[in-house]
Chain A
């Protein structure tokens, strides 16, 4: 059974204070690892898909990296508008569905 564990559960940063979110996973044959952002009362918003160890993707202040056991979402010089819950999910084998972690709730203080 696929498992995804995200840490920390909550993170408070000062504006401009860079940090990383962790996503550890156990799957039988990774097809893709997904990062989403979710704002209160809204659906998840797609950020990245990573497919193989060593892959990196960037979008504005966000950079996602992947190893064989975990993924990191690095946030460089965050702004208050980056405050949200960040979700990690995996897709494995021939399964169509995603298995999600419980998320990291990020708060960036001005």
Chain B
């Protein structure tokens, strides 16, 4: 069991470019969550998805950010026209169902640097 796979591990983008972060959940997990960790801050919830559905995007910035979890393939977090303030570690977590005794399994994250 490969766990939650995120790629790329590190991503450098110039201001104004697009960033695409990918997350493959653990086998058998159908719930995906994205979190952002800014330097010296805690993890902040962004969005919760199930296959082909956005369930809760209350933590997602209203502009430039979008997420999807298609029927086939990984979940994608997309950031358009990146700015320096988007530099952070982005973590994906997955679960079998949302009320799990085993917690949420996190990936190793994608570290986005905007230059």
Instruction: Judge whether B28 is part of the interface by a CB distance below 8 angstroms.
Output: no
In the complex the two chains form, is A96's CB within 8 Å of B98's CB? yes
Bitwise, A79-107 to B at CB < 8 A (1) or not (0) is 00000000101000001111111110000
Instruction: Specify the chain A residue showing the minimal Cβ separation from B4.
Output: A43
Question: Which size class do B's interface residues fall under?
Answer: 20 to 34
Q: In the A-B complex, list the 6 residue pairs whose CB atoms are closest, starting with the nearest.
A: A46-B103, A43-B106, A97-B45, A100-B43, A102-B42, A100-B42
Bitwise, A34-58 to B at CB < 8 A (1) or not (0) is 1010000111111111000000000
Instruction: Specify the chain B residue showing the minimal Cβ separation from A32.
Output: B99
A-B contact count (CB 8 A): 61
Question: Which size class do A's interface residues fall under?
Answer: 20 to 34
Instruction: Judge whether A31 is part of the interface by a CB distance below 8 angstroms.
Output: yes
Bitwise, B73-115 to A at CB < 8 A (1) or not (0) is 0000000000000000001010000111111111111000000
Whole-angstrom CA separation of A42 from B6 in the bound complex: 11
Instruction: Specify the chain A residue showing the minimal Cβ separation from B41.
Output: A102
Pick the residue among B6, B42, B108 that contacts A87 (CB under 8 A).
B42
Q: How far is the CB of A34 from chain B (nearest CB, A)?
A: 6
Whole-angstrom CA separation of A44 from B93 in the bound complex: 9
In the complex the two chains form, is B43's CB within 8 Å of A87's CB? yes
Bitwise, B1-25 to A at CB < 8 A (1) or not (0) is 0001010000000000000000000
In the complex the two chains form, is A31's CB within 8 Å of B99's CB? yes
Q: Which A residues touch B103, using CB under 8 A?
A: 34, 36, 46-49
